[in-house]
Amino acid sequence: MTDNRNCDVLVIGGGPAGLAASIAAHDAGADVLLIEREQRLGGILKQCIHDGFGLVRFKEKLSGPEYAERFIDEFEKRGITALLQTFVTDVKKTADGFETVVVDREGVHTIAAKAMVLATGCRERTAKQVSIHGTRPAGVFTAGTAQNFINLCGQMPTKKCVILGSGDIGLIMARRLTLEGAEVLGVYEVKPTPSGLARNIQQCLRDFDIPLYLSHTVTRVFGEDRLTGVEIAKVDENMRPIEGTEQYLDCDALILSVGLIPENEISETLGIEIDAATRGPRCNKDQETSVPGVFSCGNSLQVFDLVDYVSDSGELAGTNAAEYAKGTYDPSDKPRVPVPLEEPAGDMAPNQMVCITCPKGCLLTVDREDDGSITVTGNRCPRGELFAINELTAPKRTICSTVRTAFPETPVLPVRVSTDIPKEKIFDVMNEINKVCVTMKVSRGDILIRDVLGTGADVIATSDLLQPDA
Amino acid sequence: MSGTNEIRRVQRKLNKTFGNAVTAVREGDTIRVSGSLPTWEDILKACNMAVSKDKRRVHVVNDITLEGAEPIPMRVPSVRDDALDGKHVDVLVIGGGISGTSIARELAKWDLDILLVEKEADFALQASGRNDGEVHPGIDLGKGSLKQKYVLEGNHMYDRVCADLNVPFRRIGQYACFTQGYLRPAVTLLALWRKYHDGVTDVKIVGKEQLLRDNPTMNPDFAFAMYNSSAGIVSPYNLTIAYAENAAQNGVELSLNTAVLSMDTDGGAITAVHTNRGTVYPAVVVNAAGVFADDVAGMAHDRFYSIHPRRGTDTIQDVKSAKIISTIASIIEVNKQALTSHTKGGGLMQTAHGNVLAGPDAVECREKEDFSTRPESIRTIYQKQQKTVPAAAPRDIITYFTGVRAPTFEEDFVIEWGRNCKNLYHVGGIQSPGLTSAPAFALDVAKDVAERIGQTRPVSKNERFDPHRKGIPELCKMAPEERARYIAENPDYGVIICRCEEVSKGEILDALNSPCCPPTIDAVKKRVRPGMGRCQGGFCSPLVAQIIAEHEGIPMTEVRKSSEEAVLFYGPTKGGGPHD
């Protein structure tokens, strides 16, 4: 055992929740220490290179790395200490707080803290947890793992795949794989309604003519070494496969987006009560768990659909943990009410569309009047009307992707277009992006292609990944 | 009863059931059953009818064809080279399961040239890696069979073998539990018979009170149980790999991705063995080919028994559910349905790694390599095992897998020299309790083979034989002080790659540097467990792939899940960068 440390608030997890909690706890006057098991801060956002983050908080459409790096900048500006590549092996309650045992490249350390924030995120439900049978070949991936392979490792995990589950990551991956040249045969959802946001159904599936099959599931996987196909079946109202509806599909991968499970192994070590419905700790309004002094936030508390809410929950947990450490915390006796998720997408009439401007995903009804004018209803803000009119006259989209780099330890760098481009130019612009190879250590916001294909949009780097201290 | 009378009676029974479709002929000590039948079930029924009373000597050979069906060929690795071509060895061991690796390791105690070939991309990829890992007490076997002889000998050897090979082994005991109290006198008599007649000395009867006191999670309706304290648990693939590593350490050559395709024979002896990697010239061949043992026997014109594959599926629950069971247990249902049913729901146990395992079931199948799983297996297993421990729940399952057993129709091991081939030694029909028995029969097989070679030239002991294998340290099991010492020596032990199983980069590199580890995701997973936990490799597989690529000096695209065909990636995105 080597050196031991002390702090007021120990934050476990360096994703968006942990970063927000650390910043808030620091600003509330606490001495904060953050523990992150990976080499870099940012959590899952590092691989979420698509846009749509920060609309609520920053009123901007940021990509995941951009959103995370804004918080990392704030975190670093304050001089808060983060212990990277550090793993918690044990936590226990002591007379005056908590003792956490961690391992890193230097050895085993003990950290004493007065209060704790658990921001450990969530994990994906796996194939066996949704009862997928058949053989066990290579080529069955969760959507998050496939996303890591493409966006961080720069490797193509499939050429032709089926996606099971219409969760947001599955929808995002359908688009991402398509942009990278893979064929997505369809998204299959066991429930009668899609799970992901309506805007993602629109911009990830409909935009690319990827079919969505509701009340369908994958019943069997084929292939001895690499996956060679899957069996699809319709399901009844109890989500059980209907005999005789089986259909074989030739493909090389099955990508699963079948739900997220809060990771609460550390909470369980501390004996924290877990809510059976959210699978996160049972908390009061301040996000204090059943163990006084331990606060929970982010996706380990409840699986959120927007990162903006994750950050909010981190700030609340961080602030209250700081108060607890200072001895000024007055616990709420009201239970926490989970943040409601956005409504699932419903059926659409031919004159309807989903506004993709923000995560609300309003269902717009668009009618052309006899005089040629367009009336839009169903929008909850003026941007909806503008979106609908643009969709009918000159639809525009954003593109988020990666470019190759000359640095083997960072094979790809996330990029996006600085402003929306004409929808019909998506694949042409992708072509231009695919030609780029970054040979210099560029920064976030640096322009990699100026005015790509005369669209007026630049292709810009969305991460400081190549910066020496990143 | 003479063989002639027996075969007449068999033929009468066959005729009664199948008309004249099937013929049974006695040829020496085999009963060859031939003809053609419409279903696999019929074929099994016909062969089972032909089983002799003299099971140790007389075997059924199944030559019945399935109407309208082509034979299913053995899967053969795609590699074709001459890596082994022209090699002369004293012993060729066919099969890298528990039988083949344990025999190879015991053979290494003599001064012999030994080559072991395995057609899969790693050891223990068939039955030896797809079973429950129980070290059996032998309570279900009566005297007279090879199974019974070796299960008792093998069980006693486990502490020593696992200590030498540095493989975790725990004697956690086994309960056979009964709800029907009135069966207690009969079961007690059976236990006494097993103890004093069959040599199962650890058996005892445990009453309800003690059973539930020691195992509070068990079914409160249990009236009593038969208990064997010698039952234990081991990781079957870790033990197989450990045997392979120790064999390699002691000079045995191991060749993966190597399938035996055919043989040349002359004068009742094998002269050459053709593989996908060249022709090998062995003095003696050991047939430890699992479900393919009868096919290998056929290549040497010595097919005097038949294997009929029987699938079994096991489920693995999250380590969090370990609190529901600390031992091995199963309800024993004595009723009409249970006695006539061909499937069974196995048992429930805590594994060597602290997971909960439920299963296996038992389903006859035609295909020898049908490792697919089916939802009905899971249902069968849990329907039964929830009666053992009501808290056993399918929702805690993190994975499941299927293995294929290799029984003969006599349901016993075949461990003997060939009957029509002088230099072929059969280790066939190895199914449960094969894992328990292997350490014991490996000693006998190795001794017989060494003696046989000793008839042609002097064979001395291998003076340099080292029975000890150095395992890979398991950092997460260490006390903090010890762990810190290891990390001080090698900082990679402090970098956690697999969060669920708490596996460090140092341990993964140790696996890649171990004596016979293929550089694949699955091989590393089997040896040091990244990906074995609740996220099933979702988080760590990109990192493990990177570590493998770096260690091997290959692009990430070339990293495989297991075999050469089990590709993970179809190349870098956008056609790659300058370093691809």
Q: What percent of chain B is predicted at pLDDT more than 90?
A: 96
The reply to whether CATH 3.50.50.60 applies to domain A5-123+261-326 is yes
Rounded to the nearest 5°, which phi and psi values hold at B146?
A: -65, -35
Evaluate whether A318 touches A16 at the Cβ level (below 8 Å): no
The answer, yes or no, to whether residue A345 has pLDDT greater than 70, is no
Contacts of B54 (CB under 8 A, 6+ apart): none
Position B278 scores a pLDDT of 98
Considering only CB atoms, which chain A residues are within 8 Å of B373? Answer: 133-134
Short-list A15, A28, A121, CA closest to A320: A28
| Element at B521 (helix H, strand E) | helix B521-528
**pLDDT tens digits for A254-273?**
999 999 999 999 999 999 99
**Residue A6 structure tokens:** 């002390």
| Element at B295 (helix H, strand E) | helix B293-299
In this complex, which of B481, B556, B566 lies closest to A155 when CB atoms are compared? B556
Compute the distance between CA of residue B40 and CA of residue B58 in angstroms, rounded to an integer. 23
Is position B532 within any domain? yes
Per-residue H/E/C for chain A: CCCCEEEEEEEECCCHHHHHHHHHHHHCCCCEEEECCCCCCCHHHHHCCCEEECCCCCCCCEEHHHHHHHHHHHHHHCCCEEECCCEEEEEEEECCEEEEEEEECCEEEEEEEEEEEECCCEEECCHHHHCCEECCCECEEEHHHHHHHHHCCCECCCCEEEEECCCHHHHHHHHHHHHCCCEEEEEEECCCCCCCCHHHHHHHHHHHCCCEEECEEEEEEECCCECCEEEEEEECCCCCECCCCCEEEECCEEEECCCEEECCHHHHHCCCCECCCCCCECCECCCECCCCCEEECHHHCCCCCCHHHHHHHHHHHHHHHHHHHHCCCCCCCCECCCCCCCCCCCCCCCCEEECCCCCCCCEEEEEECCCCCEEEECCCCHHHHHHHHHHHHCCEECCEEEEEECCCCCCEEEEEECCCEEHHHHHHHHHHHHHCEECCCCCCCCEEECCHHHCCCCEEECCCCCCCCC
**Chain mean pLDDT for chain B:** 96
Short-list A5, A153, A26, A146, CA closest to A86: A5
The answer, yes or no, to whether residue B232 has pLDDT greater than 60, is yes
**Residue B480 structure tokens:** 């903090």
Q: Is B59 a catalytic residue?
A: no
Q: What percent of chain A is predicted at pLDDT more than 90?
A: 86
Considering only CB atoms, which chain B residues are within 8 Å of A220? Answer: 372
Helices A307-326 and A16-27, axial angle in degrees (round to 10):
40
Q: Is B156 on the interface with A (CB under 8 A)?
A: no
Evaluate whether A121 touches B496 at the Cβ level (below 8 Å): no
Compute the distance between CA of residue B396 and CA of residue B10 in angstroms, rounded to an integer. 48
The answer to whether residues B56 and B100 belong to one domain is no
**pLDDT tens digits for B406-456?**
999 999 999 999 999 999 999 999 999 999 999 999 999 999 999 999 999
The answer to whether residues B302 and B318 belong to one domain is no
- Decide if B545 and A153 are in contact by the 8 Å CB cutoff: yes
Cα Rg of chain B (Å, integer)? 24
- Decide if A145 and B538 are in contact by the 8 Å CB cutoff: yes
Instruction: Determine the distance in angstroms separating the CA of A370 from the nearest CA of chain B, rounded to an integer.
Output: 48
The answer to whether residues B516 and B392 belong to one domain is no
- Out of B59, B88, B136, B353, pick the active-site residue: B136
Position B2 scores a pLDDT of 67
Considering only CB atoms, which chain B residues are within 8 Å of A158? Answer: 570
For A86, which residue in chain B has the nearest alpha carbon? B495
Is position B565 within any domain? yes
The answer, yes or no, to whether residue B342 has pLDDT greater than 50, is no
Domain range enclosing B341? 309-405
**pLDDT tens digits for B520-569?**
999 999 999 999 999 999 999 999 999 999 999 999 999 999 999 999 99
Considering only CB atoms, which chain A residues are within 8 Å of B481? Answer: 1, 108
The answer to whether residues B297 and B410 belong to one domain is yes
Band of residue A361 on the pLDDT scale cut at 50, 70, 90: confident
The answer, yes or no, to whether residue B345 has pLDDT greater than 70, is no
Domain boundaries A400-461, CATH class: alpha beta
Give the single-character DSSP code of B572: B
Evaluate whether A63 touches A48 at the Cβ level (below 8 Å): yes
In this complex, which of A104, A226, A403 lies closest to B494 when CB atoms are compared? A104
Q: Tell me the residue length of chain A.
A: 470
Position A374 scores a pLDDT of 86
Three-state DSSP class for residue B421: coil
Is position B580 within any domain? no
Contacts of A193 (CB under 8 A, 6+ apart): A214, A344, A345, A346
Supply the CATH number for residue B14's domain: 3.30.1340
Q: Is B452 on the interface with A (CB under 8 A)?
A: no
**pLDDT tens digits for B476-522?**
999 999 999 999 999 999 999 999 999 999 999 999 999 999 999 99
- Decide if A128 and B542 are in contact by the 8 Å CB cutoff: no
Task: Residue window 300-319, chain B: list those with CB within 8 Å of chain A.
Answer: none
Position A32 scores a pLDDT of 98
Q: Give residue limits of the domains in chain A.
A: 5-123+261-326, 126-258, 352-393, 400-461
Helices and strands per DSSP (H, E), number in chain B: 15, 25
Task: Residue window 376-405, chain B: list those with CB within 8 Å of chain A.
Answer: 378, 397-401
Judge whether A5-123+261-326 and A400-461 match in fold: no
**Chain mean pLDDT for chain A:** 95
In this complex, which of B399, B537, B569 lies closest to A156 when CB atoms are compared? B569
Is position B514 within any domain? yes
**pLDDT tens digits for B176-224?**
999 999 999 999 999 999 999 999 999 999 999 999 999 999 999 999 9
The answer to whether residues B461 and B495 belong to one domain is no
- Decide if A404 and B534 are in contact by the 8 Å CB cutoff: no
Band of residue A469 on the pLDDT scale cut at 50, 70, 90: low
The answer, yes or no, to whether residue A93 has pLDDT greater than 90, is yes
Short-list B247, B261, B244, B246, CA closest to B298: B261
The answer, yes or no, to whether residue B91 has pLDDT greater than 70, is yes
Alpha helices in B166-292 (DSSP H): 184-196, 208-214, 236-249
Q: Is the peptide bond before B433 cis (omega within 30 degrees of 0)?
A: yes
- Decide if A124 and B572 are in contact by the 8 Å CB cutoff: no
The answer to whether residues B483 and B571 belong to one domain is yes
In this complex, which of A142, A155, A226 lies closest to B538 when CB atoms are compared? A142
Q: Which of B369, B573, B580 should we substitute to test contact with A (largest number of A Cβ atoms within 10 Å)?
A: B573
Count of CB pairs separated by less than 8 Å, A with B: 160
Q: Which amino acid is at B422?
A: K
Compute the distance between CA of residue A379 and CA of residue A74 in angstroms, rounded to an integer. 35
Is position B558 within any domain? yes
Band of residue A2 on the pLDDT scale cut at 50, 70, 90: low
The answer to whether residues B59 and B138 belong to one domain is no
Compute the distance between CA of residue A338 and CA of residue A131 in angstroms, rounded to an integer. 28
The answer, yes or no, to whether residue B339 has pLDDT greater than 50, is yes
Position A11 scores a pLDDT of 98
Contacts of B386 (CB under 8 A, 6+ apart): B392, B393
Q: Is B102 exposed, middle or buried (0-12, 13-18, 19+ CB in 10 A)?
A: buried
Is position B180 within any domain? yes
The answer to whether residues B186 and B210 belong to one domain is yes
Task: Residue window 527-556, chain B: list those with CB within 8 Å of chain A.
Answer: 534-539, 541-542, 545-546, 556
Is position B155 within any domain? yes
Position B344 scores a pLDDT of 63
| Element at B287 (helix H, strand E) | strand B278-287
Q: Which amino acid is at B267?
A: G
The answer, yes or no, to whether residue A15 has pLDDT greater than 60, is yes
- Decide if B487 and A105 are in contact by the 8 Å CB cutoff: yes
Q: Tell me the residue length of chain B.
A: 580
Q: What does the DSSP assignment read for B302-361? A: ---S-B--EEEEEEEE-GGGGGG-SSEEEE---SHHHHH-S----EEEE-TTS-EEEE--
For B546, which residue in chain A has the nearest alpha carbon? A153
Q: Is B568 on the interface with A (CB under 8 A)?
A: yes
Short-list A99, A102, A98, CA closest to A89: A102
The answer to whether residues B427 and B531 belong to one domain is no
The answer to whether residues B163 and B179 belong to one domain is no
Domain boundaries A126-258, CATH class: alpha beta
Q: Residue A140 CB: number of other CB atoms within 10 A? A: 25
In this complex, which of A2, A126, A408 lies closest to B538 when CB atoms are compared? A126
Position A428 scores a pLDDT of 98
The answer to whether residues B164 and B284 belong to one domain is yes
The tally of CA atoms less than 13 A away on the side-chain side of residue B465 is 17
Instruction: Give the least confident one: A238-242, A320-324, B234-238, B574-578.
Output: B574-578
In this complex, which of B320, B535, B574 lies closest to A434 when CB atoms are compared? B574
Count of domains observed in chain B: 5
Evaluate whether A450 touches A458 at the Cβ level (below 8 Å): yes
For B397, which residue in chain A has the nearest alpha carbon? A129
Instruction: Give the least confident one: A275-279, A350-354, B314-318.
Output: A350-354
Considering only CB atoms, which chain B residues are within 8 Å of A124? Answer: 535, 538
**pLDDT tens digits for B253-274?**
999 999 999 999 999 999 999 9
The answer to whether residues B271 and B141 belong to one domain is yes
Cα Rg of chain A (Å, integer)? 23
| Element at B170 (helix H, strand E) | strand B169-170
Contacts of B417 (CB under 8 A, 6+ apart): B424, B425, B426, B448, B452
Enter the pTM of the model: 0.96
Position A4 scores a pLDDT of 81
The answer, yes or no, to whether residue A427 has pLDDT greater than 70, is yes
The answer, yes or no, to whether residue B64 has pLDDT greater than 70, is yes
The answer, yes or no, to whether residue A454 has pLDDT greater than 70, is yes
Q: Residue A327 CB: number of other CB atoms within 10 A? A: 7
Instruction: Determine how β-strand A459-461 pairs with β-strand A412-417.
Output: antiparallel
Position B340 scores a pLDDT of 56
- Decide if B577 and A180 are in contact by the 8 Å CB cutoff: no
Is position B72 within any domain? no
